[in-house]
Amino acid sequence: MQGREIRVRGQVQGVGFRPFVWQLARDHGIRGEVFNDPHGVLIRATGGDLDGFQAALSARAPALARVDAIESRPCRFATPPAGFVIAASRGQGAETRVTPDTATCPDCLAEIRAPGRRHGYPFTNCTHCGPRFSILHRLPYDRAQTTMADFPLCPACRADYDDPADRRFHAQPIACPECGPRLWLEIAGAVQPGDPIAGAAQALARGHIVAIKALGGFHLACDAANAAAVDLLRARKRRPAKPFALMARADDLAAFCAPTPADLALLHDPAAPVVLVRGTGTLPDSIAPGMACLGVMLPATPLHHLLLEAVPGPLVMTSGNLSGEPQAIANDEARATLGAFADAFLMHDRAIARRLDDSVERAAPRMVIRRARGRVPGTLPLPPGFEDAPPVLALGGQMKSAICLLKGGQALLSHHLGELDEALTWEEFLKAIADYTALFDHRPALVACDAHPLYRATQHAHTLGLPVAEVQHHHAHLAACLAENLWPLGAGPVAGIVLDGTGAGADGTIWGGEVLLGDYRGALRIAHLTPAPLVGGDLAAREPWRNLLVRLDQAGLGALADRLFPDLPRDTLRAAARAGLNAPACSSAGRLFDAVAAALGLCQPRQSHEGEAAMRLEALAEGITAAPYPLAGLDPAPMFHALAADLAAGTPPGMISARFHAGLAHAFAAPARALVEQGRAQAVALSGGCFQNARLLAETLAALGDVPVLTHRETPANDGGLALGQAVIAAARQIAGPVSG
């Protein structure tokens, strides 16, 4: 019997795609079967309106599905099918996408609030929501391959699971109080009687710290309106100033922040990320010291919804870890590592397969600052020209570590791993390589890494027994931006403005404020910020005054530095700078931000977390419009003379910050724009961690005018996107063809 075989590729497993196909087949009079396999979903169909059926597969796909391609060919049925069935998964391997963890859908939220067997059940989910990547051991995505294998289905849940007309058909995390995970409240090692949600709410109301087991790991929570509780959490966690994330119900947002329509849309996204939203000043300053924006997320699971309905107002909801270390995911691990922080533990017995921090994002301008829970393991299509790209494993950088895999025309950028200097983060890095390569059946032909010889990831690359492609740090930033924007392999060079902290330069110095001209295969340094000694190496990134001292001395303003820092070891640093003793030349824009922040007295004598000085400087400029400071090309000496005059005149710090942002943007936009106007570049690409600064990004876009501009939106501009750039550069070097430009 004649029929049609239809292949659907993309994010089509674990999203209710097979029951959707089953219902669609009934609507169109189709007979046959549908099943999962390593490549996605395969349909064998006959009868009825086959053309209309195939067209509806993408036009009416489930909300969580991402259909990349639909392919069809004729097929024959040896025996005419009597109806349409959902068949068991077939095959081994992984050529399809895994769905990220997804926030609770409206139907499940209504169910936990209504009478019934799942009333108040904190692990309610269906094919449209719930845990996915955080519980998955291996593909194909079936219950036996997840941490839910420990919970055999009761008859009622089995009936839901087996019914194609039910929204829980083949929802692998399906559960109820009879057969699923259980929740309890633990204090001092003892399980507390009564409702654990009510008990946790009472502990929070008393100003206690509660460790809560979430999707990708433990959070530490406290009452965000209780300044004493917030201060207690900061003291226990040894986190003096880094902003805390908040979780609140949508109806409570207006009490402490002012979300825009774009903010609200992103807050309600199925990924449920932490969104940077302007605060209104009604919460304690210690939530986000010196910041204009608050990191806010809505409840992502039924557990969070139930807890937020039992407490008034927002909760601090920060990662359950000691600052710098990975968050705890296992119950015993949490007891051991968080016992000194938490007064109580809200725990459950569903295992977490991998650690996933919360994603952090901004709505306008759109940017992903930390790519994690809810966004991974979503894949990115490779640009035209990369169809023959070899399988590449890219290992990223030293900070904000993430890895990237290229396979089958897609790039898989991993979740945020952290700083590889930390021993526990290094262990997570090694686990992530093994985890991702096994889960996605990835067999790399080569490995890509940063060119810095002392980065741990770089050293590890040379132990894997594969060809190694070392990639200059800022070239990788540029290529990551090109790849996200699907810039074709042969489309010609672009001008890249790459501004970040530090990266090993091709000339042996430290770069960080560059204008590059290049593409995937190579990049030429066209202009750069005038270098200054990075006295103390990494210590200069922690003590902003060091950067101001050398910049003022360069500008002939050493006397101002003497007045600003009378009690700091200026002479020692100056001697080290003159001798070149642990004082490499550095063109970093990030360190220039630190210098200007230090001039305004911010973060003295040191900052408590990476980027604190720059973040506070950005917050000062909120809502202020100012003329730019002058720079001589990319030499900031004239800027420091103007800044010194403003300090002497008592100019408000916010105005100084605004003038600095505008001046830096104009200075870098000029040579980049010139490359486009001269026909040497086709567009301008903006990358590097400094472009997480929304003010700098906006000023740079304005200064570039009408030239084509590429920016990061779905991948981090910071080092969290480096691995993507490394991967496509390594692939481009392997692909035959002329070098552009």
| CA distances, 178 to each of 116, 118, 119, 587, 689 (Å) | 12, 10, 12, 62, 48
What pLDDT does 740 receive?
43
Nearest to 667 by CA among 689, 634, 645, 694: 634
Cβ distance 473 to 395 under 8 Å? no
Nearest to 355 by CA among 218, 224, 204, 488: 218
* CA 296 – CA 272 distance, rounded (Å): 10
Give φ, ψ of 343 to 5 degrees. Answer: -85, -20
- Torsion sign across C-alpha atoms 57, 58, 64, 68: positive
Strands 293-297 and 274-278: antiparallel
Cβ distance 405 to 391 under 8 Å? yes
Encoded tokens for 26: 């009934």
- Our separate counts of H helices and E strands in the chain read 22, 29
Residues marked active site are found at 18, 36
| Fold match flag (377-485+714-734 vs 532-710) | yes
Confidence of residue 738 (pLDDT cuts 50, 70, 90): very low
In this structure, what DSSP letter does residue 249 have? -
The lowest-confidence range among 33-42, 179-188, 306-315, 532-541 is 33-42
Phi-psi region of 545 (alpha: psi -120 to 50; beta: other; left: phi over 0): alpha
Q: What is the pLDDT of residues 377-386, one digit of tens each?
A: 988 999 999 9
Residue 737 reports pLDDT greater than 90: no
pTM of the model: 0.93
Q: What is the pLDDT of residues 225-275, one digit of tens each?
A: 999 999 999 999 999 999 999 999 999 999 999 999 999 999 999 999 999
Architecture of domain 183-360: Alpha-Beta Complex (3.90)
In this structure, what DSSP letter does residue 589 have? H
* CA 309 – CA 125 distance, rounded (Å): 18
CA angle 272-278-283, nearest 5°? Answer: 95
Encoded tokens for 255: 């009490």
Does CATH place domain 2-86 in 3.30.70.100? yes
Residue 11 reports pLDDT greater than 60: yes
Confidence of residue 505 (pLDDT cuts 50, 70, 90): very high
* CA 523 – CA 685 distance, rounded (Å): 13
Tell which wins on pLDDT, 739 or 65. 65
Question: Which residues face 517 on adjacent strands?
Answer: 495, 524
Tell which wins on pLDDT, 737 or 574. 574
| CA distances, 6 to each of 35, 99, 629 (Å) | 11, 21, 61
What pLDDT does 686 receive?
98
Q: Which CATH class is domain 377-485+714-734?
A: alpha beta
* CA 133 – CA 352 distance, rounded (Å): 9
- Mean pLDDT of the region 15-24: 91
Q: What is the pLDDT of residues 51-97, one digit of tens each?
A: 999 999 999 998 888 898 999 999 999 888 989 999 988 876 655 56
- Torsion sign across C-alpha atoms 424, 425, 429, 435: positive
What pLDDT does 49 receive?
93
Instruction: Give the whole-number percent of the chain exceeding pLDDT 70.
Output: 98
Instruction: Give the whole-number percent of the chain exceeding pLDDT 90.
Output: 89
According to CATH, the superfamily of the domain at 532-710 is ATPase, nucleotide binding domain (3.30.420.40)
Give Dmax over CA atoms of the chain in angstroms.
92
Q: What is the pLDDT of residues 574-606, one digit of tens each?
A: 999 999 999 999 999 999 999 999 999 999 999
CB count, 10 Å around CB of 165? 9
* CA 110 – CA 119 distance, rounded (Å): 9
* CA 586 – CA 24 distance, rounded (Å): 61
- Mapping DSSP onto H, E and C, the string for 650-669 reads CCCHHHHHHHHHHHHHHHHH
- Mean pLDDT of the region 506-531: 97
Positions of E strands within 521-587: 523-528, 532-533, 585-586
Question: Which residues face 215 on adjacent strands?
Answer: none
* CA 497 – CA 374 distance, rounded (Å): 30
For the chain, the structural domain boundaries read 2-86, 183-360, 377-485+714-734, 532-710
H/E stretch holding 261 reads: helix 261-267
